[in-house]
Structure 1
Amino acid sequence: MPKVRLSGTVLGENDPTRSTRARLLHLLFSHGWDIYNGNGDQRITLSNIERKIIESDAFVFTPGATLEDMFKAISIFVGYQTLDRHLAGKPTVVLNSDFSWDPFFSVLDHLHKMGTIQQDYRDYLLAVETSDDVIKTLDVVRHHGIPDAGRVKIGESNVSSFETPLPLNHAGNICVFCSASLTDPAFLADGEELGRRLAEARLGCVSGAGKSGIMGAVVKGSVDAGGWTAGSNVPHIIELEGLPEGLSSFWLKPDIYTRMEVMIQNSDGFVIFPGGAGTVQELFALMIFKHQKNPLMVNKPVVIFNRPNAAGLGFFDPLIDLLDGMCQPGDFSVAHTLDDIVPVFERKLKKSA
């Protein structure tokens, strides 16, 4: 029988989503689905999420959206975008009967308009309002498939991991999560300038090791200024984006989740630069780790670069609005200019020295 994985956690007998979940379980069972996480008590981690995806034939997200639910949903969307073979033909349905997913969808809509998400999320994360519609949508997608993401491989991946020791005067590593697709010259110039400033501050630059977009520009800026640079990527994304030149160290990983983990482990702080679904996914992971008091995120600042446009609107306004309702003060800070970014890490690392 096909297996569907449900999101969400049932918070006791008075949970308002309990009856909806019970109805959904009944319909799925009666229509021939086996169910993972029926009781809502299974934990997903960066080390096991890919295995959970491999084990499942479809995904259903339930009402009462939490930050962890949103992280899982956007992770699947990123998998569709990057042609993850383990997601081929597997539908994802979001039961949004309580409209708790609307802020998340607003973020995706906004980033689509900003050009960092090329695909329309509605073609991949299929929102419905009733449990009956979940069953109908699963059946339709299983028969008709999932739209092509419009990505084309630019080459084959034959790279392996390598390491270069840190410089003697090294002050720390800053990870930059950002777009690998945005080609606006102004954004690319900002990315290159950030890489240069990190190098001049003796801060290593850690990235997703993509050659294109802002990601490639940040690495170039650091390399050109003589900085130490490192990154992590996975074979099927390297085939789409290539690798930047000049990396000091590179960590090849089998999936995007262990890729995130090694980047977090090897960084002392994080910059969220203009980006798309992958950048949002990475920011959600950082916030979840902070809430869990994960040792990988202890005393590591997160700075969101909310780059303003000509009208004064910030690139990440909807995302910051979403996080303000789910995060604690101090989980992240917001920078509006490039000048505001590097000093945050210099002050933090000086205190820790």
Structure 2
Amino acid sequence: MKIAVFCGSSTGNDPQFLTATQALGKHFAQNGIDIVYGGGNVGLMGAVADAALAEGGRVYGVIPEHLKQKEIAHEELTELRVVADMHERKAAMAAMADAFVALPGGAGTLEEIFEAWTWAQLGHHAKPCAFYNVLNFYEPLLDMVKHMTRCGFLKPEHAEMLVKASTPAALLSGITAYQAPAGKWN
């Protein structure tokens, strides 16, 4: 199984974000899970890759040419693919991945997981979309998802399709147990 990981190009202001990210990379590698990610060697991106590689895991990076220097492309990956732009990056990652996970991060992390979740709602794929909820990082967002559902903008089955976990074992368990609901227009 290959899991696409979306996360910050910084480590955040609490060392537990870094520790939890390293634990996830290690757990994935120890359980034969390959990582697909943005290809950078900085922040949580670099940490998850390094932790998996240190355990003998396979890590596949996809980085746009214009970010190759800014995100300091990780040169020790199983495979590093340099692409033209962000659209090509996301398409390549989506094609490679069997599941998607958002770790703590910023606007780019949210944009990537939201696109994957939207595609799942529309029935473009049946892959799990998950939030690694380190230090309850995603609680405000998950409250917003509940609010969108209460207000009638999100079907309950599409809110419930999100996997949420705060430990590597619970996250992997939720991903492997996932069953996709019918697409939004089915």
TM range (shorter): 0.7 to 0.9
Partner of 1:177: 6
TM-score, normalised with respect to structure 1: 0.46
Take 1:190 and 1:280, find their aligned partners in 2: how far apart are those partners?
19
Aligned partner (choices 217, 224, 245) of residue 54 of structure 2: 224
| 1:338–1:203 distance in 2 versus 1, CA, 3 Å | closer
Tell me, what secondary structure is at the counterpart of 2:70? helix
Take 2:87 and 2:39, find their aligned partners in 1: how far apart are those partners?
14
User: Quick one: which amino acid aligns to residue 240 of structure 1?
Assistant: K
Take 2:21 and 2:65, find their aligned partners in 1: how far apart are those partners?
24
Give the drift of 1:261.
1.1
Please give the residue correspondences for 1:177-326 in structure 2 after superposition, counting only pairs within 5 Å: 177-183=6-12, 184-294=14-124, 297-298=125-126, 300-308=127-135, 314-324=136-146, 325=148, 326=154
Tell me, what secondary structure is at the counterpart of 2:134? coil
Take 1:264 and 1:338, find their aligned partners in 2: how far apart are those partners?
21
| 1:334–1:345 distance in 2 versus 1, CA, 3 Å | closer
User: Quick one: which amino acid aligns to residue 160 of structure 2?
Assistant: G
Give the drift of 1:347.
4.1
Take 1:340 and 1:289, find their aligned partners in 2: how far apart are those partners?
24
Q: Structure 1: where are the runs of 5+ without partners? A: 1-171, 309-313
Tell me, what secondary structure is at the counterpart of 1:252? strand
User: Quick one: which amino acid aligns to residue 11 of structure 2?
Assistant: L
TM-score, normalised with respect to structure 2: 0.84
Tell me, what secondary structure is at the counterpart of 2:69? helix
Greater RCO structure (CA 8 Å; 6+ sep): 2
Give the drift of 1:291.
2.1
Q: Is the 8 A contact 2:163 2:175 kept in 1?
A: no
User: Quick one: which amino acid aligns to residue 178 of structure 1?
Assistant: C
What do residues 97-123 of structure 1 show as CA deviations (whole Å, max 9, x unaligned)? xxxxxxxxxxxxxxxxxxxxxxxxxxx
Tell me, what secondary structure is at the counterpart of 1:182? coil
Q: Percent identity?
A: 29
What do residues 57-93 of structure 1 show as CA deviations (whole Å, max 9, x unaligned)? xxxxxxxxxxxxxxxxxxxxxxxxxxxxxxxxxxxxx
Q: CA RMSD in A?
A: 1.8
Q: Which runs of 4+ in 1 moved over 3 A?
A: 345-349
Give the drift of 1:253.
1.5
Take 2:176 and 2:138, find their aligned partners in 1: how far apart are those partners?
24
Tell me, what secondary structure is at the counterpart of 1:176? strand
Q: When the two structures are aligned, how many residues end up with a matched partner?
A: 170
Name the larger-Rg structure. Answer: 1
Q: Structure 2: where are the runs of 5+ without partners? A: 149-153, 180-186
Please give the residue correspondences for 1:122-201 in structure 2 after superposition, counting only pairs within 5 Å: 172-183=1-12, 184-201=14-31
Q: Is the 8 A contact 2:5 2:35 kept in 1?
A: yes
What do residues 189-238 of structure 1 show as CA deviations (whole Å, max 9, x unaligned)? 21111111111111101111111111100000110000111011112212
| 1:329–1:281 distance in 2 versus 1, CA, 3 Å | closer
